Amino acid sequence: MARAPLFLALLCIAAFASADGTDARKMVGVYVLKKGDFSVKISNWGATIMSIVTPDSKGNLGDVVLGFDTLAEYVNDTSYFGPLTGRVAQRMARGRFVLDGKVYHTYINDGKNAIHGGHRGFSKVIWTVKEYVGGGDSPYITLYYRSFDGEQGFPGDLDVYATYQLSGPHELSIRTNATALNKATPVNFLQHVYWNLGGEGSGDILGHTLQLSASRYTPMDEELLPSSGRVDPVAGTSYDFRTPTPIGARIRKVKGGSVFGYDINYVIDRVGMRKVAAARDGASGRGLELWANQPAMQLYTGNFLNNTKGKGGKVYDQYGGFALETQAYPDAVNHPEFPSIIVRPGQVYKHDMLYKFSF
């Protein structure tokens, strides 16, 4: 199978610090994976999903991912439109944890806490393109990043790979793995895509129906941290999506921090690779299933989007998209009652996701 040219579009970005402290000039590219009428656009800036184009029930193609037109806008993005976040995604209380008796302090970038790996986490670095096949039966791209000892305060060198592949006619699989090379370290990745199955910029997602394979959740405090460490049943609460329910049905009864909306972690039923969520937009007929192998998932309903300029001059407002972020439990490093996210030298962290689209 012939390989497509490595870079479809290039942007030269200077003066990024390398692991040894020197400045390095690196190239950022945009890569397209295409199979029939299904296409995905990815950048090695932050391992970011920039667009996913798929048909609706009438055969009309539309982009269902919120984002920007230019790479420069992704570099300056503060909403996390589409990147892979880490080394430890989600919030970490006070950016602090204790591992093997040693206290570590990571970069604080969310009030008093750390979020998504710090101000220069995996979503704000240039990944190396290891392999790229843009077309054919199973288009894919494999990205690599070496996270160095002390990066954003985390211990040890970490080798990270992420492969994005069109594994079926309208399916995108994402396989990530990370190997701790010389020190134990916490690891938790998530893919921060904002979905609007009606098409990005088409309005809010409150009418989308959502079903989650989750009978429990972790209550959050005002800082969106699971401070109590409790795991509660969703039954009888506004967090219950065990049957298909419009996202907006109870959204004014829940708060994600200071605003109304969902920003909550669910504990997924069962273990292994299984279906964790299904969503559908009645107007377009588009559906999405998410399969994953992680124990938990954050539901976020774009609560803080506010007059955000997106693709083609469209404006994204509150509830303009929703995110389904498979992950470990938030702040697990500070909660021994939660499943551990510590990866020791020679061990491999694996996080697999599969997105299945229908229409």
Give the residue numbers marked as catalytic. 192, 325
10 Å CB burial of residue 43 (0-12, 13-18, 19+) is buried
Cβ–Cβ < 8 Å for 52, 85: no
DSSP state of 195: B
10 Å CB burial of residue 23 (0-12, 13-18, 19+) is exposed
Hey, CA dihedral for 3, 8, 10, 16, is it positive or negative?
negative
Q: Which residues of 200-227 are buried (b: 16+ CB within 10 A; e: fewer)?
A: bbbebbbebbbbbbbebbbebeeebbbb
Cβ–Cβ < 8 Å for 82, 48: yes
Phi, psi of 270 (to 5 degrees): 65, 175
Cβ–Cβ < 8 Å for 350, 241: no
Enumerate residues 6+ apart whose C-beta is below 8 A from 333.
Answer: 88, 92, 97, 99, 186, 341, 342
The C-alpha atoms of residue 141 and residue 139 are separated, in whole angstroms, by 7
The C-alpha atoms of residue 200 and residue 316 are separated, in whole angstroms, by 8
Distance of CA 65 to the CA centre of its chain: 12
Could you tell me the CA-to-CA distances from 204 to 199, 246, 274 in Å, in that order?
10, 12, 28
